[in-house]
Structure formats: C-alpha cells, structure tokens
Amino acid sequence: MSCTRRDFLKTALGTSTLLSFSSVAPNFLIRTATAGDPHRDDGRTVLVVLQLSGGNDGLNTVVPYHDDEYARNRPTLALPPKELHKINSLIGFHPRMGAFMRLYDEGHLSIVQGVGSPNPDRDHDGAMRIWHTADPDRPSRQTGWLGRAVDNVWRADTTEAPAVFVGPIAQPFALNTESVIVPSIQSPDDLMAREMPGRTDGQSVWKNAAELPRPGQQNSLLGFLQRCTLKAHANTRRIEAVTTGAAAGTAEYPSFRLAGTLRTVAQLIRADTGIRIFFTELGGGGIGGFDNHANQLGNHCALLHQLSESVAAFVYDLKRDKLLDRVLLMTFSEFGRTVKENGRRGTGHGAAAPIFLAGGRLKGGLVGAHPSLTDLDGDAPKFHTDFRRVYATVLDRWLGFESRSVLGKQFEALDILNS
Amino acid sequence: MAVQLEKLSDPGWAWTAYEPDAERPWTLAQAGHLYRRAAFGANWGQLQHALSDGPQRTVDTLLRPQADVEAFNAAHDEYETSATSVNDLRAWWLRRMIQTPHPLLEKMTLFWHNHFATSGTGVKDARVMRQHIRLLRSQALGSFESLLQGISRDPAVLVWLGADANRKALPNDSFVRPLVETFTVGPGCFTDRDIQEASRAFTGWFVLRGELRYIPREHDSGAKHILGREGNFTSDDVVQILLEQPATPQRLVRKLYHWLIGEVEEPDAILIAPLAESFAKDYNVSRLVETMLRSNLFFSSAAYRRRIKCPVEFAIGIVKGLEEMVSTTQLAQDLAGLGQNLYHPPTVEGWAGARHWVNIATMTGRYNLASALLQGSGPYDDKLNPRVVSEKYGRSTPESAAQLLLGLFLQGDLDPAVCETLLKTAKVEADDSNECLRRFAHAVVTLPEFNLA
C-alpha cells in the first residue's frame, strides 16, 4: 500500500521535471523540489486534538461500576455493569464504546483519569477558556495554547501551515495565535487550488511562472513567494493524489460527521502536507452536545458511540497505511459532570474527567487512578492530574516543541509514550 | 530606481521630495507603486493620469482629492447604522474602501485598526464597534494626540481589553499595559511600577452597557510616579506623559515606515530621527504621511515591492483594477479565511503581517479567491470582466487585451521569460474567448509579483 502511495505521489508531483532544470534553476528551487519529496515528512509527528463540547460526563464514559456510590447517586443514569466493556474489576467503558475497548486491548488507547484544572470554572465559556488558553490564572489572555505553540515554531522561511482546524463551527480559541495564520477547513478541497471553469492547465501556469528564475531581482520577499507558490502547487497535487482514484476509496468510515472529519485529517496526513496539529470537534458550536442537564442517557449514548466508532476507523485507516506511529489523538472536554444525577435524568457541570489518547506509539492502559466518588470537589470528582501535564507531554515528548514557553512553566510530563 | 546604497540611509536625501530625472524617471511602475501603498491599487485610467501628472501632483490628489469626501463618508456612516452585527460592518467597510474618493483615508484607517487592534469578538456590540472605526477614521490623517485621547475613552477598546471596570480599590492594568507597551512607548521603556501607577490614574472609568461612565468616588486622586514624573495624575495626564516620551513618536514613525515604505528591513535610527522629531511637535499624521509618500526613499528600490500585500490589498487590487463592485459580504468572509478578518484582529498587537500572511494554505486560498472573483459566476457573480475593461480602453485584440492586463496589474514590470510563459501557456493568441482572457487575468494576479505591494 505504501508503495502504491509513493508511486502516486511521484507521478503527481512531477519531481523529476523540476529537477531536470537544475543546471539553470536557482538553488532555492531545487531545494523546494527536494522538499516536495513524499518521504520528507516521514518521522514528523502529528497531533490531533478532539474537543468534546459541552462537558462530557466522565463517569458514564469510563464507568466505576464496582463503586456502590455510582449506582446510589444515579438511580436512572447508572449503566448496568453487565453491559459495560470491562477494563478491570473496577471500571469499564460505556456499552456503546466497544470500539474503544478494542483499541484499548490492542494498546492503541490510553486513558488519563482524573484530569482537571486548578481554579476551575463551572461555566461553559469560562471553563473552555481555561482549557483553550491553558492559563487558569489569566483566562483573559489573548492567545490559545496551540496558537502560542505554532507561533513559537514559526521561522521566517516557514511555508507550511503548521496547524488547521477541521470542522463546521467557528475556530476554537485554542488555535488563536499572535502572528501565524491557522486555516479553518471542512474538507481537503479547502486546501487545494481549484481550477477556473473551462481550464485544465491553470495550475501548471501557476507553477511554471513561479519557478522561472528572476535574474537581477535582489528581493528576498519575491523568492519567498515563489517558494510558497511552488509548495502550494505541490501540496494540491499531493492532496489530489490521496483523495482521488484508488487511493481514496480503501478506508472504511462510518457515516458520522466526526468520522468524515477524521477521514479528512487522515487524508491530509497521508498527503504529507506538513501540518503538525489538527484540531477537531464533536458536540457542535454554542454550548455543545455533551451538556446533558436532562434526559442524558440516549443523547450521551449516541455521542459516545459516534466518538468511539469514528476514532477507531481513523486509527485503523492510519494503521493500514503504516502511518499510525506518527499520529497521536487527544480528547478533552471543558469539564466532567456531577456524581449525582439531578431530578431530570441529567447531570450538572462538574470538574475532573478522563482524557483519551489514541495512537501507535502509546504505552497503553490507564494513567492515574479513577477519582473518588466520595472525596469530592463540591459535588463532582476531584482532579489529581493538572491538564497542563497532558499538554506538556504532547508538546515536549510528542511534537518536540517546547512546552515551557507555551505554558509559562515546566509541567511534569506523563510517562505514556513509547520512544 | 537604481540609487547608490549610501544615499538610502542618508536622511537628507531619503526624505527630500522625489524629482524624476533621467536616472530615476517617473514610470508606470512608480505610479502603480504609489497607488498600491497610498490606496488599494488603481484602475487603468488612474494610472494614466498619474503618469501624466507626475509624482508630486499624484500625491496631492491622493492626499486631498477634489471630490466631496465628507458627503461620501456621511452617506456611508448612515448606511452603516443598518448593520446589525459586527460581521455586517466588515462588508460595509470593504465597500467603502472600494468606492471611496479618498482611498488614502481608508488605508490609514486600516493602519490604525492594526495599531489600536480592537476585536469585535470581545465587544460583540455592532454600535460600539462602528463608533470605534469611526473614531479611527476621524483622525486617520489628523492628530495622533486626539486619536490617543479618543482611544483612552473608547468603550470598544476598554471592553475588548477587559478594562470596563476600574475601581479605586482594584486598579485594572488591562488597558494601561497595552496603552504603554503597544500603543505608545513600546517594550523596554517602562517598568511594572509605571504600569501600576498609571493604572491608578485610570480608576473611576467604567463602561456600562456600551456607554462610558466616570464615577468620581472610584477615582484614586492620590500622587502617582509615572515615567519619572510625579503628580496627582488623571488618565488625561497619563496620555500626555506618554506623548511626551521620545520613544512614542519614534515607534509610530517606524510602524508607519513598515506600512508605507517597506517591511523587509528595520530602518536605521538616523533615518527615523528627523521624522520622529517633526512628528513629536504636533502629532500631525497627515504631514508625516505626506513626507513619506513624496520622498526619494519611497520611490527607491528600498521600497518598491518591499511589502507583502495583506489579503485586503490583494483582493481590492483586483476589484479596483476591473472597475466594478462585488459582494463585500462574501469578500469579508473570504478575507477572514486568508487571515485578515476585519474588525477581528487576532490580538491587541494587530496582524503580524509580512511573511506571516503567506503559507501554502493562504497562497492556495489567494489562488481560489482570485478564481472566484474572476470566473464570471458563483458567489461573486459576473461583476468583474477583464474583457469589458480592455475594450473600454480600446484593446480589442486578445494580444493587446493581455498586455493591458499586465500593465494594469503589474505595470508591465515582469521578467520577460515569465511574461512569455504566461502568454504562451495561457494561449492568448490562439483563443479569442472571454474565458481565455479571464484565465489570463487569473494567471497574472496569482503571480508571486502580484502578491507584493
């Protein structure tokens, strides 16, 4: 498969044509052509962040079925132990999360339990702001944690888009940068140059005109724009190669919106676009679908099913293509929910909740204990792992970025990754 | 444009008004350059006028247009009151940029929008944001002193920065810090103590339901030490103290240098000094802009194509050249996708611009926006038609129409080999169709050169 992919890319790129210019083409163009080589991204890691909007009920996701307090506090919402996918003698996955159970058994899924924030906020916007800024002491700050991360790695000769948001809602604040532009897209098409009607050769005019040398021009900006144009052109061809023809149809995804989003992410990873961070979302804009104050059971069930099936399809798609080792997916939600259900078969805004990590280089298993159901933060589980430790882990250990400058201080990384 | 290097850093030569001569003649390329910086591009008629008027008379026209600018802006102010959301306001502003008889005023309003970067995401109230941009426009070529005073009392700015409550017991530095660090003296010229003391001077000011309020009992009237001065300062005093710091005019002149002249190199202090000194006297923005636009430096190779067009300049350059109006609601949305969401700068530092504008995603986005504008159908409809424009100027053959487009968008200043490639691959000579000329126009505006301002 990966051999086929390379052939595709080679044809699509026409690298050889460009290299044959080498006797006359200036150095930077040759570098660009080489940089367009499909192998260039091999080994570059990719982070996929998946936001669960609305406040996911961690207790009905990773269920502490053995604890009597669970059933006692949730007369209508408690899930029957026999239907759970048992992780061990204490906890199990929600009945509709069979796909996560399978990923967990295969070592492709880790659960970080009891994650939360000091100075938590129980208001949606306030809590989301904390997770997005990663700055509980200064939630009014104007940049997001991933925005700062991409600002930090930007260099004057950077031509790639280091991060994108994939989804139909407004771009989440986590990606707010001071200087780098982070695109919002809904499909791979949005990163492809589209031909004008009746045109078949537009892109090659674009490329041919950009790659000609400009003798006598001492203008660094012009050279930069030439390189960007050539890279943008090559990028379109690479995306084309993985979204059309035989390469496009092999993976199976369920028909959920999230699955479609993750398929787009997989295609862009496969196309070696140089994007290191993908931000995606489940639950929608506004307050978010995970906010179940009433009649939680059915809705939550559907969301968790969508989550688990979509992520599993994504993982197996990448695994088939031997790309899973380069990818780490991380979920988060602005808060968990109260232990006790309310009188309307729902739950209130809480505190700590689990984070899921999926990928090919995880140690797998559980990280940290399930939070207590009696020693509470108000009426919700207490956090024991600062969410910024998870952020520091993915920045330092996974992306190879420097977390200290993003998070303001050094947080201890979690030991969750195989080297 | 060939000038010896030493001249470029000699302030005496650099800021003297440019007089064309045999070595540095007044060309179509220079006229295009002036219109890219002092406006949002030009149409063919304007370029021809500029060519015959010469540089100084063209600058006169740009600074003080004949048309009734006040009436135009009053009418547009009125239209804007119909906007129910901040997003609607973006479309109205783009419309104004395209239609205004005084594009330099809008160009400078955009400059101040980038300087006092205030975002509707925090403010949400369309009326408050409308007033904010009106304030910027009212002094865009006026007095920086009045502008700064206005900004320090502007509900939009205070709400956006989280400074809508300034209690005596809890001085709030969220306006004062950017006021000092971003709007005036800049980093490295003050201490945290200065910020704390200045914040006390701003106590008593509140924004309630979008209206500014002063509550005297919440004002701390005690003595403050700010930047080496001592007194029972008020917020107005702080603004005055900041205007008296030599770092303030220097910083503003540098920023305007990057906006009007070039963003590739940081100008020498010796080049900035005379302009900063003059600016500090009365903070007259118009005179500063005028000096820069008329100067030898402005018309030298140090400035020519030494900026990357922001998305607004890129798109309006195409629209202005083809002399029609397009849907600016759609355009505002597309420009946001390219990283320039008007009324929503990313942070109080404004848009970083320069090379940040461009990466493979936004370069692709510019390609697609140009297609959408020029294809004659879809969201931008059939408004822009290169054929209509070329016929208006009597270019009826495909070859002459193509030459006109090269002149219009690049003033013909393109490497001959690139030019030949374009003409050949776009097959202008072989195909007489409207579509073919549209495709040629598209090839021109997606060139690296067209992305340079």
In a domain, B366, yes or no: yes
User: What is the spatial distance between Cα A60 and Cα A113, in angstroms, rounded to a whole number?
Assistant: 13
Q: What is the CATH number of the domain that holds A130?
A: 3.40.720
In a domain, A122, yes or no: yes
User: What is the spatial distance between Cα B253 and Cα B274, in angstroms, rounded to a whole number?
Assistant: 10
Q: Does any CB of chain A come closer than 8 Å to the CB of residue B130? A: no
Q: CB-based contacts of B70: which residues, under 8 Å, 6+ apart?
A: none
Closest residue of B to A232, CA-based?
Answer: B360
Q: Which among B194, B216, B132, B208 is positioned nearest to B164, based on CA atoms?
A: B208
Q: Does any CB of chain B come closer than 8 Å to the CB of residue A176? A: yes
pTM, full prediction? 0.93
Q: Which domain holds residue A108?
A: 46-196+255-407
Rg of chain B in Å (alpha carbons): 23
Q: Does any CB of chain B come closer than 8 Å to the CB of residue A40? A: no
Q: Which residues of A touch B448 (CB under 8 A)?
A: 210, 222, 225-226, 228-229
Contact A228 B415 (CB under 8 A): no
Is residue B378 domain-shared with residue B435, that is, in the same domain?
yes
In a domain, A59, yes or no: yes
In a domain, B435, yes or no: yes
In a domain, B334, yes or no: yes
Strands A353-359 and A85-86, how do they pair?
unpaired
Tokens representing A52 are: 């669960």
- From residue B231, alpha-carbon distances to A41, A382, B172, B196, B234 in Å are 61, 50, 19, 14, 9
Is residue B281 domain-shared with residue B320, that is, in the same domain?
no
User: What is the spatial distance between Cα B43 and Cα A113, in angstroms, rounded to a whole number?
Assistant: 63
Residue A378: half-sphere exposure toward Cβ, Cα within 13 Å: 12
Q: Does any CB of chain A come closer than 8 Å to the CB of residue B2? A: no
In a domain, A333, yes or no: yes
Q: CB-based contacts of B69: which residues, under 8 Å, 6+ apart?
A: B100, B101, B102, B105
- From residue B12, alpha-carbon distances to A123, B25, B188, B296, B344 in Å are 60, 20, 29, 10, 40
Q: Which residues of B touch A181 (CB under 8 A)?
A: 338-339, 356-357, 359, 361-362
Is residue B256 domain-shared with residue B283, that is, in the same domain?
yes
Is residue B275 domain-shared with residue B374, that is, in the same domain?
no
Is residue B279 domain-shared with residue B318, that is, in the same domain?
no
Q: What confidence score (pLDDT) does residue A35 get? A: 43
Q: How far is A185 from chain B (nearest CA, A)?
A: 9
- pLDDT for A269-308, tens place per residue? 999 999 999 999 999 988 899 999 999 999 999 999 999 9
Q: Does any CB of chain B come closer than 8 Å to the CB of residue A199? A: yes
CA atoms A308, A310, A312, A315: torsion sign: negative
- Judge whether A342 and A87 are in contact, CB under 8 Å: no
Q: Does any CB of chain A come closer than 8 Å to the CB of residue B360? A: yes
- Judge whether B308 and B453 are in contact, CB under 8 Å: yes
In a domain, A101, yes or no: yes
Helices (H), A86-143: 98-105, 124-133
Q: Indicate the residue type of A21.
A: F
Tokens representing B418 are: 């690139």
- pLDDT for A366-413, tens place per residue? 999 999 999 999 999 999 999 999 999 999 999 999 999 999 999 999
Q: Indicate the residue type of B379.
A: P
DSSP conformation class of B310: P
CA quadruple B434, B436, B441, B444: dihedral, nearest 10: -170
Is residue B259 domain-shared with residue B339, that is, in the same domain?
no
Name the phi and psi angles at B322, rounded to 5. -100, 5
Is residue B283 domain-shared with residue B317, that is, in the same domain?
no
DSSP string, A30-94: HHHHHHT-GGGGTT--EEEEEEETT---GGGTEE-TT-HHHHHH-TTTPPPGGGSEESSSS-EE-
Name the phi and psi angles at A279, rounded to 5. -115, 125
Each residue's pLDDT expressed in tens, for chain A with a length of 419 residues: 333 444 444 444 444 333 333 333 444 443 444 444 443 444 599 999 999 999 999 999 999 999 999 999 999 999 999 999 999 999 999 999 999 999 999 999 999 999 999 988 999 999 999 999 999 999 889 999 999 999 999 999 999 999 999 999 999 999 999 999 999 999 999 999 998 877 677 788 999 999 999 998 889 999 999 999 999 999 999 999 999 877 676 789 999 999 999 999 999 999 999 999 999 999 998 889 999 999 999 999 999 999 999 999 999 999 999 999 999 999 999 999 999 999 999 999 999 999 999 999 999 999 999 999 999 999 999 999 999 999 999 999 999 999 999 999 999 999 999 97
Q: Which residues of A touch B422 (CB under 8 A)?
A: 205, 209
User: What is the spatial distance between Cα A388 and Cα A133, in angstroms, rounded to a whole number?
Assistant: 10
CA angle A213, A214, A220 (to 5 degrees): 105
User: What is the spatial distance between Cα A188 and Cα B146, in angstroms, rounded to a whole number?
Assistant: 48
Max CA separation in chain A (angstroms): 80
Closest residue of A to B451, CA-based?
Answer: A225
CA B77 centroid distance within chain:
19
Q: Which residues of B touch A138 (CB under 8 A)?
A: none
In a domain, A31, yes or no: no
Q: How far is A38 from chain B (nearest CA, A)?
A: 16
Task: Give the count of beta carbons closer than 10 Å to the beta carbon of residue B232.
Answer: 11
- Judge whether B321 and B43 are in contact, CB under 8 Å: yes
In a domain, B429, yes or no: yes
Q: CB-based contacts of A192: which residues, under 8 Å, 6+ apart?
A: A235, A236, A239, A240, B364
ipTM above 0.85, yes or no: yes
User: What is the spatial distance between Cα B373 and Cα B371, in angstroms, rounded to a whole number?
Assistant: 5
- Judge whether A383 and A335 are in contact, CB under 8 Å: no
Q: Residues of A108-137 as b/e, b for ≥16 C-beta within 10 angstroms? A: bbbbbbbbbbeebbbebeebbbbbbbbbbe
What is the arrangement of strands in the sheet containing A62-63, beginning at the earlier edge strand? A62-63, A92-93, A85-86
Contact A142 B367 (CB under 8 A): no
Q: Which of A140, A199, A210 sits opposite B439 (nearest CB)?
A: A199
Q: Does any CB of chain B come closer than 8 Å to the CB of residue A73? A: no
Residues of A numbered 257-296 whose beta carbons fall under 8 angstroms of chain B's beta carbons: which are they? Answer: 273-274
Q: How far is A152 from chain B (nearest CA, A)?
A: 13
Q: Residues of A90-100 as b/e, b for ≥16 C-beta within 10 angstroms? A: ebbbbbbbebb
Q: How far is B418 from chain A (nearest CA, A)?
A: 6
Q: Which of B264, B356, B448 sits opposite A179 (nearest CB)?
A: B356
DSSP 3-state of A166: strand
Is residue B266 domain-shared with residue B379, that is, in the same domain?
no
In a domain, A236, yes or no: no
Is residue B330 domain-shared with residue B396, that is, in the same domain?
yes
In a domain, B178, yes or no: no
Q: What confidence score (pLDDT) does residue A201 get? A: 73
Contact A215 B415 (CB under 8 A): yes
Give the number of domains in chain B.
2
DSSP 3-state of A172: coil
Q: What confidence score (pLDDT) does residue B124 get? A: 83
Closest residue of B to A173, CA-based?
Answer: B346
Task: Give the count of beta carbons closer than 10 Å to the beta carbon of residue A413.
Answer: 18
Give the number of domains in chain A.
1
Residues of B numbered 278-317 whose beta carbons fall under 8 angstroms of chain A's beta carbons: which are they? Answer: 305-308
Contact B306 A221 (CB under 8 A): yes
Q: Where does residue B327 rank: exposed (0-12), middle (13-18), buried (19+ CB within 10 A)?
A: middle
Q: What confidence score (pLDDT) does residue A249 get? A: 66
Q: How far is B66 from chain A (nearest CA, A)?
A: 36
Is residue B410 domain-shared with residue B282, that is, in the same domain?
no
Is residue B410 domain-shared with residue B364, that is, in the same domain?
yes
Residues of A numbered 6-25 whose beta carbons fall under 8 angstroms of chain B's beta carbons: which are they? Answer: none
DSSP string, B321-370: HTT----HHHHHHHHHHTT--TT--SSTT----GGGG-SHHHHHHHHHHH
Q: Which domain holds residue B330?
A: 311-451
In a domain, B38, yes or no: no
Helices (H), B231-300: 235-244, 247-260, 269-282, 285-294
In a domain, B43, yes or no: no
Q: How far is A287 from chain B (nearest CA, A)?
A: 17
Q: What confidence score (pLDDT) does residue A23 get? A: 35
DSSP conformation class of A116: E
Q: Which residues of B touch A132 (CB under 8 A)?
A: none
Contact A181 B308 (CB under 8 A): no
Each residue's pLDDT expressed in tens, for chain B with a length of 453 residues: 556 677 888 999 999 999 999 999 999 999 999 999 999 999 999 999 999 999 999 999 999 999 999 999 999 999 999 999 999 999 999 999 999 999 999 999 999 999 999 999 988 899 999 999 999 999 999 999 999 999 999 999 999 999 999 999 999 999 999 999 999 999 999 999 999 999 999 999 999 999 999 999 999 999 999 999 999 999 999 999 999 999 999 999 999 999 999 999 899 999 999 999 999 999 999 999 999 999 999 999 999 999 999 999 999 999 999 999 999 999 999 999 999 999 999 999 999 999 999 999 999 999 999 999 999 999 999 999 999 999 999 998 888 999 999 999 999 999 999 999 998 876 655 566 788 899 999 999 999 999 999
Closest residue of A to B304, CA-based?
Answer: A219
Contact A196 B442 (CB under 8 A): yes
Q: Indicate the residue type of A364.
A: G
Q: Which residues of A touch B362 (CB under 8 A)?
A: 161, 181, 183
Q: Does any CB of chain A come closer than 8 Å to the CB of residue B174? A: yes
- Judge whether A273 and B360 are in contact, CB under 8 Å: yes
- From residue B380, alpha-carbon distances to A369, B337, B338, B370, B392 in Å are 57, 16, 17, 10, 21
Residues of B numbered 366-385 whose beta carbons fall under 8 angstroms of chain A's beta carbons: which are they? Answer: 367-368, 371, 374-377
Q: CB-based contacts of B423: which residues, under 8 Å, 6+ apart?
A: B402, B429
Per 3-state DSSP, chain A is made up of helix, strand and coil in percentages (nearest 5) of 40, 15, 45
In a domain, B56, yes or no: no
Contact A206 B446 (CB under 8 A): yes
Is residue B260 domain-shared with residue B345, that is, in the same domain?
no
User: What is the spatial distance between Cα A260 and Cα A134, in angstroms, rounded to a whole number?
Assistant: 28
DSSP 3-state of A29: helix
User: What is the spatial distance between Cα B420 and Cα B442, in angstroms, rounded to a whole number?
Assistant: 16
Residue that is written with structure tokens 């086929």 in the block = A4
